[in-house]
Amino acid sequence: MNFPYIIIDDNQESVLKTKAIADGFSELVFVASANNYADGLHLILEHNPKLIFLEIDPADTSTNLSLALINELYRYLKVVPKVIITTSKKELAFDAIQYEVADYLIKPVQRIDFIKFILKIKKTVDEEPSSFVVEKQIFNEPTVPKPELPLNNFEEDKQEETAPIPEETTALETSTFEEPADLETTNSPDEESSSEEDTILHIPKQRLVPISEQPLILCIKSYGDYRYIDARDICYFQADNNSTDIHLNTGEMVTAFKTLKHFEGILSAPFARIHNSYIVNSSYISRIHTGNAVCYIKNTTTKIPFSKSYKENIDAIISDFANGNYLEI
């Protein structure tokens, strides 16, 4: 779980100190810094970070740094980044609370302060409503043509009699059913039985309409942002604490705020868990080295380890390859 951040402080020395502490946390990714209101606003709108470290009581008042910057963000952004106030005055804490800031750190900022606010942010993310949605495949029932049975119902006969006859077929139908006046036609019981059998034999058989299988789409939802991913483009999943990094065949990585176990429970073949930290799409495996206990991903230099506890899944993948169009040399 990564949190890109921007530091806005009129004191460049304070910027460097804050960044030095933040560099000790792998979750925090430095984006940029600014020393005044205008530059800070431009950086936020350009990079849209998740965190902002903001000084609201600058020594240089011409920089215009204040809580007013938060109000300005609401004019342009649907989702405002979490703001962490870094200042030397405790007196401004009450005002900051009115702006719903994520945290209020007193300078000089200490490492333990960072640990606390990171834990609070992670807890907030974990308590949010489900951010992972799987679109279910929808299968329609096959359309079955109705058999054309003889109409015995009086109302149906009536409708058939009153139905208009197309002009081009009137003469043909009339000539077909005309009989000589002196000729009587009588069907024997055997002929009637044969006629019924012919009718039954000519009932159309039910026909199943093939349905093309729709690809599975994963929707990664985060703060109103809906990211749709075709499951066929996913190479593997990698656990990252309480979140999961999804690695695509384009080399891109997308983070979902769900555990790897959550994905294991909802995904099926060709996805298989091979390690406590990895679920792999077997369609992207180019090599399995059982001696070194690693899998190689196609068209990359990536090697994914597999553990003994998931050896059965590796054996199943090897077996699936062998059951396909396969030639072992």
Q: Would 292 be classed as within a structural domain?
A: yes
Backbone region of residue 21 per phi and psi (left: phi > 0; alpha: psi in -120 to 50; beta: other values):
alpha
**pLDDT at site 172:** 42
Q: Would 182 be classed as within a structural domain?
A: no
Q: Name the residue with tokens 């099926």.
A: 268
Element (H, E) at 303: strand 303-305
pLDDT 10s digits, 140-174:
445 555 555 554 554 545 455 555 555 544 444 44
**pLDDT at site 326:** 83
**3-state per-residue secondary structure call for 116-169:** HHHHHHHHHHHHCCCCEEEECCCCCCCCCCCCCCCCCCHHHHHHHHHCCCCHHH
pLDDT 10s digits, 180-206:
444 444 555 555 555 554 544 555 555
Domains in the chain, number: 2
Q: Would 193 be classed as within a structural domain?
A: no
Q: Which of 81, 104, 127 delimits the end of a domain?
A: 127
CATH of the domain at 14: 3.40.50.2300
Q: Which of 92, 109, 127 delimits the end of a domain?
A: 127
Q: Which residues contact 45 (CB under 8 A, 6 or more apart)?
A: 76, 77
**pLDDT at site 41:** 94
Q: Would 204 be classed as within a structural domain?
A: no
**pLDDT at site 213:** 64
- On whether the CB atoms of residues 70 and 52 are closer than 8 A, the answer is no
Q: Would 176 be classed as within a structural domain?
A: no
Q: Which of 98, 127, 156 delimits the end of a domain?
A: 127
**Which pair of tokens denotes residue 264?**
């294991």
* Same domain, yes or no: 123 and 238: no
Q: Would 206 be classed as within a structural domain?
A: no
Write out the residue range of the structural domain in which residue 283 sits: 232-323
**pLDDT at site 226:** 87
Per the prediction, the chain carries an average pLDDT of 80
Q: Name the residue with tokens 């109705």.
A: 146
**pLDDT at site 145:** 54
48/7 Cα distance (integer angstroms):
13
- Percentage of the chain exceeding pLDDT 90: 49
Q: How many CA atoms lie within 13 A of 309 on its CB side?
A: 5
Q: Would 225 be classed as within a structural domain?
A: no
**Which pair of tokens denotes residue 62?**
């011409």
Q: Would 303 be classed as within a structural domain?
A: yes
**pLDDT tens for the 329 residues of the chain, in order:** 688 999 999 999 999 999 999 998 888 999 999 999 999 999 999 999 999 999 999 999 999 999 999 999 988 898 899 999 999 999 999 889 889 899 999 999 999 999 988 888 887 766 555 444 444 444 444 555 555 555 455 454 545 555 555 554 444 444 444 444 444 445 555 555 555 545 445 555 555 545 456 788 999 887 678 889 999 999 999 999 888 999 999 999 999 888 999 999 889 889 999 999 999 999 999 999 999 999 999 999 999 999 999 999 999 999 988 888 888 88
Q: Name the residue with tokens 């703060």.
A: 223
* Same domain, yes or no: 123 and 236: no
Per-residue burial over 196-212, b if 16 or more Cβ lie within 10 Å, else e, is: eeeeeeeeeeeeeeeee
Torsion of Cα atoms, 69 then 23 then 126 then 258, to 10°: 120
What is each CA distance from 9 to 6, 84, 121, 199, in whole angstroms?
Answer: 10, 12, 22, 90
70/68 Cα distance (integer angstroms):
5
CATH of the domain at 299: 2.40.50.1020
Q: What Rg do the C-alpha atoms of the chain give, in angstroms?
A: 36
Per-residue burial over 23-32, b if 16 or more Cβ lie within 10 Å, else e, is: eeeebbeebb
Q: Which residues contact 183 (CB under 8 A, 6 or more apart)?
A: none
DSSP string, 232-281: GGEEEEEEETTEEEEEETTS-EEEESS-HHHHHHH--TTEEEEETTEEEE
